[in-house]
A = this chain, B = another copy of it.
Amino acid sequence: MSLQYALELFGTFFFAISGALAIQEKDRDHDWFGAGFTGFVTAIGGGSLRDMILGSYPLVWVGDINFIYSIIIGVIVAIVFYKYIVGLRRTFILFDTLGIAFFTVLGVEKSLKLGFRPEVAAIMGMFSAVMGGVIRDTLTNETPVIFRKEIYATACLGGAICYLLLDFGTSLDRNVNLLVAAGLIIVIRLVAVKFKLSLPALRR
């Protein structure tokens, strides 16, 4: 099992947990199906949209049943350990940050491997990471995560560009590029949350 495959399954598992929990912030008495559905959509949304845009079939989770089981386990973990997990806002942010970091670099790698240009790969890396959460937030009538205050999708875009620079500009091993770029996303995101950093606003 390659590093890439392991990260992808772990990212899916983390996203399913964060998706299953996310709706609880808004609507306390949501049912199990709702938790499962938002967990599923959060976990597969970004990668599915990427693959449907790129025309890469079968979609990852359709072709490899392990992804569906990662999601089911993640949702069960979220439901069973709900009262332990839900108070841990920091744990939640950490899971989500690991998820977006892995998904961004894997999305960039997949796009390049399919022969697309680096500009497209950067956008697709970011989409892989953030669009699952955007779809989840849209369905639950929340303001999508990418429009909220702290730096989020911009960290993914930064990590994607970092990966592309390492890939085209150096001769380092792919796994090194992958870990450096993912690490950059994690650092940017956690520093942004810690110090409440946001991008400049448009003002008149």
A residues apposed to B, CB below 8 Å: 23-24, 27-35, 37, 40, 48, 52-55, 57-59, 62, 65, 68, 79, 82-83, 86, 116-117, 119-120, 123, 134, 138-141, 143-144, 146-147, 153-154, 157, 198-204
CA distance A58 to B55 in the complex (A): 7
Given A48-B53, A141-B141, A120-B204 contact (CB < 8 Å): no
Please give, as numbers and ranges, the residues of chain B lying within 8 Å of A201 by CB-CB distance. Answer: 28-32
Stoichiometry, as copies per complex, reads 3
Closest B residue to A199 using CB positions: B31
CA distance A123 to B143 in the complex (A): 27
CB A193 to nearest CB in B, in angstroms, measures: 16
Please give, as numbers and ranges, the residues of chain B lying within 8 Å of A27 by CB-CB distance. Answer: 147
Q: Tell me whether B82 and A204 are in contact (CB under 8 A).
A: yes
Q: Tell me whether B202 and A31 are in contact (CB under 8 A).
A: yes
CB A188 to nearest CB in B, in angstroms, measures: 13
